[in-house]
Every structure is written in C-alpha cells, then in structure tokens.
A and B are shown apart, each in its own frame.
Chain A
Amino acid sequence: MAETVVKITNLVKRYKELIALDNFSMEIQKGEVFGLLGPNGSGKTTTINCLLTLLSYDNGEIELFGEKMTSKRSDLKVRIGVVPQQVAVFDELTVYDNIDFFCGLYIKDKETRKKYVEDAIEFVGLQEFKKFYPKKLSGGLLRRLNIACGIAHKPELIIFDEPTVAVDPQSRNRILEGISRLNEQGATIIYTTHYMEEVEQLCSRILIMDHGKKIAIGTKDELKGMIKNTESVIVNAHGLTQDFIEKVRALNHVYDVSYRDDTLTVKCSGGKHNIVHVVDCFADNEVKYQQIYSILPTLNEVFLEITGKQLRDNE
C-alpha cells in the first residue's frame, strides 16, 4: 500500500462570513501527480496555504508524511518544496544567487548545496542566465527561476500553485515537462490550476473543488465517467429539415440534438462508434454535409455538469 503523503481531514477555514474551506478532505499518495482543479476563488490556494501552515484554520487536521503538520515542524518543512503562484524572488540578487539563497535555507552543506543549485539551474534551463537579475528575464524565464527556487533542495513533496499563469506556450510546455520529470524522479506533486488541459496532461488523480468543497475526485477517466455525455458529434450541414433531425434524435445512445447556425450537435451517452451511426444516417437519407467530427468530453464539461457553471469563469 502506497504511503500517504498528505492527509487533510474536515478542514474548515473562514474569513469572517465567508467560508473558504468547508469541511474539505483529501488524501494524496506517494508518487502521485495530484491535480487540484477549480475556478478562481474555489479554495485551492487557501488549501495550500493551510497545508504549509501559512494560514491558520478553524477546524480540521492536516498530516504530512503521516505526522501532524504545525508551523514549528521544521523536519517536515524541509521535505516540502513550493512554487508559489506569484514569483517570489529577490530582484537584487542574480538568478544563481536567488536559487543559492533559498536552497541554503534548507541545505547546510556547501558542496551539496552547490551541486543542487547547478542541478536546479540545468533542470529549468537557465544556464545562460545565471548572472542575470530577475528584472532582465522574460515572464517565462522568471517563472522558471521561481520553480528553481522551490525545487533546488530536492524535496519529496512539491506544490505547484498555478505555475503557468501568464506564461507563453513554449515556457508552459517546458514547465509541464519539468513537472513530469520531477515526478519520474520520485517527487509527489500537488498541482493547482484552473487550466483543465494541463491537469488532463499531467495528473494521475484530480480533485475538483468549488466554494471550498470537494466536488469530485478520481482519475480523468473516472471523472468523465461521472457525467451523462460521453461523446458529441458535430456536423456542419446546410438546410437540415426537422424530420431529418428527428431521425438523428432517434438513433441509439443519442440523448440530445440541437441545430443552430448550420451546425448540428449530437450528444451521445454511452455506446461506441456513435459518429459512424450519424454518418450512416446522413447517407441513408441522402443528406449532404460539409464536415463531421467527434468531441470527447473535457473536464470542463464534467465541471459544468456537476456545478452548472464553466470552470474558466474568468476567461
């Protein structure tokens, strides 16, 4: 049985009248890439801050590596690395000095620290920028420096709090690849974001939260299995009649059909090869179409179906 790295039980956090975390519980096993998914204000960062004992909480328990986490547990803190949402480096220190400074708060031995710092610089690909000051770095490079400062001491548990916000696609891919590599090297990862495609790409298990509550938890396939829609077939066709639309609606596994702006959307629940049945229906009735394709459900649809709202409510 895998070791439980993080165990949060019935966590309650209130900001006066607002309940930021409402009896929130979760468990993360060693070696997982655990995605914490939710819209802005859902309680992801509050959960992380409580976990790190930066925030006090009203009720509940937090255990790390099987032991109760408190602000005085230096022995547990040394095993954690954090990449915060906002870049947290000193503008007055170079790339190398920043990483060396923060690594030095964990690692006392000079030689070990030196090696770790070099490893971290290589890991995030900042070899050419060692002597640069943060203000001279682009947004993507700055994010990489932020990551290097959080992981240089080779922690067992690494928390990434929305590390790809406002990052260009190239840097984003590099960051996501880096996180996968860290996981391959043995680190347990907690990854909070509201970008579902990142979670789908990275995470072995996902927890969806909203209003401080756990909405759903599981692998991405398990989560997608929780909703009615399993496939949407989209057809671009001009001048479809109501009679024909009713014939499509009558196909097996089809539970909803809509036709708007020359686009027919056929939603299916269960069944295989639904797109083939739709194509056959068009052929049998000698109806022409320009384009036909199938879309599998995303986590956004999972979120939409469970909560009734879009995940990316700010975009």
Chain B
Amino acid sequence: MYFRVFVYRIKKNLRDRELILWSLLFPIVLGTLFYMALGSIYKNAAVETKSVALVGGTEANTEFVKTTLEGIKSSEGTAMFEVIVADAADEQKLLFKDEVAGVMDISDMSDIRLHIAKDEVAQNVLAHVIGIFRRNAVLMQKAAADPASALKIMNLMTEDTELVKQVNAAGENKDPYVSFMYALLAMVCVMASNAGLQVPIDSQANISTQGARVSITPVNHRMYELASLLAAFVIQVVCTMVGLFMIVGVYKVNMGCSIGFLILICILGTMLGCSLGFMLGHVSKLSKSSKEAILLLFVTFGGFLAGLMFDRMKMIVEMYCPIINRINPSALIHDAFYSLNIFGVGERFYRSMITMVVMTIVFTTIGLVMSRRRSYASI
C-alpha cells in the first residue's frame, strides 16, 4: 500500500509544474547568471602572496615568527606570506583597509592571537600555523622540565610541521568565486523544503481538502507521510543533480572536490531541505499560504546568512554568532563544500556532514511525531 503511495506521490510531484519549475529553473538560471558574471575570472589564479602584520612581539620573537611565515610556500613554490611589523594601534586600520590578510599579536608566544577580517585560504593557513606555535610552546616547556623526553617531543614537533604542509596543499580551487556556486547549490538543496512542506499540506485535514480525505482513510498516517516524504526527496535529488550537472558538466566549474563527494553532499543537503519543510509544515496550525511564506523567508534569509547574496556574510556570522552557522542548513551545506575544497576530507567536513544527518533525523522525527492521527478543534 505504501509503495503505491510512494509511486503516486512521485507521479504527483512530477506533474507539479510550479514545484518542478522552481527546483529546476532556480539552479539553471542562477547558475547561468553566476557563470556569465564570474565566468571570465573562473580560472585557478596562482596563489598570491598575502601580507601579514606582526604586533607586540620582542625583536627575537618577531624575527622567529617572520622567518617561519615567510618559509611557507604554496605547492607552486610561491611564498604565501610577506611579513610586516606594525604597531598594535594600526591593527584595525590594516585589517579593514584590507592591507593585510591578518594581524598576529605575538606579545605572548604561548598564546598568539590572530585577528582577521576575512575567512579565506591565507587566514586558515595562519590559524593552523598559530595552532602549531601554541602546541610547540607547550611541548618545549615539557621538554625543558623533562630533558629525557626531549627526543620524543622533537619527533612530535616534526610531525606537526608536515601537517602544516599537507593542509596547505589540500585545496584544488582557491578561487573565492566558487563560493557563490557552493551557496547556490546549498540553496537548491534547502529549496527542497518546498517539496517537504507539500507532504503535510496534502495530508492534514485542517490545511487541505485532500488532507481531509486522506485523514478519514484507514491508512497509518505516519507511514503515509513517510512514503510521501521519500517521494518528494527522490524528485528533489534529481532536480539538485540537474543543477549540479549544469554547474560541473555544462559550465565546467572546478568545484574543488571529487564528483562523488559533491553528489554525497547534494543528497544529504536535499534530505535536510526536505525534512526541514516537512517539520515546518507540521509545527503550527497556520494556513497553507502562511506556512509557505514562513518557509520562503527561512530559506531566503538562511541563504543570505550563508553568503548567497553577500560573500562575507558567513564570515560576519562566524565572528558574531557562530552557532547560526552550525545550525543554518544553507551554511552547513555551503561549509561542507567549502571545507572539502580547502581542507579535504577532514574534521570540519565530517562535522558538517554529521550535523546535516543529525538535523535531518531530528526534523523528520519532529514532523512524524506531530503527524499523529488527530482530531482538530476546528477545520
């Protein structure tokens, strides 16, 4: 019975021109616009040397850090950083005029501080370098306290140095404009929420006449909705794949990671989008149009916060309210693409993927719990 529901919901969704049109046209039209606007600069530019300002350090410490940073080179052999020594008072000016990639406060070598205004490759490398500095400072203190362990500690420090090199070489496309394509795909995935929302709309007696008709049948309501949600998911995955194909296959945009991982992120992202709509459709007694309006607002604002309209927005959110980036579906999907491109398969990528899966399960469960067969106070 529920397989039939699944099949008929597939049929219904395929014939839902509005839904299909938005799901397909959005990535195709916006992808084309991005390509036309940014295509000419879609070349993997060589890594540019960025300036880094050092403030607050002693002469010896400044020289040590300067030598270390200037020694970091890209895979093409280009020096990544040019170091300038500045006063702490000039920090804000340097950052906001975009004269330096970051300002390192080295007044305390065991607690080096990095101040940045952007979140790009150079800043991420700097952050890793500081991490190494901090760990090495601790290791050196241990070695001083326990000379017998000095050799072992030296080995650990060497391993860390290798790690910096590996991370540095992980990314394939460091073009900042690829970020727009990530945000676009993220939004396509989240827009699958419209299909998810349609499931409760078509099965709740207080929202639609079809829902009333379904509600008086003897079917298990949750199973019915689950079959409908699965059908919505399948259709939306196809739509997302068409968008992905346009970007990767037609416009040949280098997304910076393998197609297998791109597909995996798109599938999980679409699942998250569908479950988001499914949950929002259940959590209130609002009318169909009100629910659709809330979802549109949620998706659009989420896309804005994830940097679809303004590329630095995600960074601003990260600085002032990072929790939003951890729970905003658009930001999560965007981050999965970004971290895969810049750092490869690692902690940050796994964090994004696991969060997506957990949120999908939570959203779907909330929706299913609320979809219990019920009598309404008014319909």
Contacts and interface: CB of A to CB of B under 8 A. Distances in A.
A111 interface: no
A217 to B, nearest CB: 25
Given A80-B216, A92-B16, A106-B217, A54 B379 contact: yes
A56 B206 CA distance: 12
A38 to B, nearest CB: 19
A171 to B, nearest CB: 19
B15 A89 contact: no
Given A75-B218, A92-B12, A93-B12, A84 B212 contact: yes
A52 B216 contact: yes
Interface string B277-303: 000000000000000000000000000
Contacts of B215: 54
A122 B11 CA distance: 24
Given A52-B216, A101-B8, A88 B210 contact: yes
A88 B202 CA distance: 10
Given A88-B212, A104-B1, A55 B218 contact: no
Contact of A53 (B5, B11, B375): B375
B142 interface: no
B217 A55 contact: no
A92 B232 CA distance: 14
Interface in A44-66: 49, 52-56
A52 B215 CA distance: 9
A97 B5 CA distance: 11
A80 B215 CA distance: 12
Given A54-B379, A55-B376, A90-B12, A106 B213 contact: no
Interface in B188-220: 202, 205, 208-210, 212-219
Contacts of B15: 92-93, 133
A15 B378 contact: yes
B374 interface: yes
Given A56-B377, A105-B217, 20 more contacts: A53-B216, A54-B215, A55-B377, A55-B379, A56-B376, A84-B213, A88-B212, A89-B210, A92-B13, A92-B15, A93-B8, A97-B11, A102-B217, A104-B1, A104-B4, A105-B1, A105-B5, A105-B214, A105-B219, A106-B218
Interface of B: 1, 4-5, 8, 11-16, 202, 205, 208-210, 212-219, 224, 373-379
27 contacts: A52-B216, A54-B205, A54-B216, A55-B378, A71-B373, A72-B373, A74-B218, A77-B217, A82-B213, A82-B216, A84-B212, A86-B209, A88-B210, A88-B213, A90-B202, A92-B12, A92-B14, A92-B15, A92-B16, A97-B8, A97-B11, A102-B213, A104-B8, A105-B218, A106-B218, A149-B213, A150-B213
Interface of A: 15, 49, 52-56, 71-72, 74-75, 77-78, 80, 82, 84, 86-90, 92-93, 97, 101-102, 104-106, 108, 133, 149-150
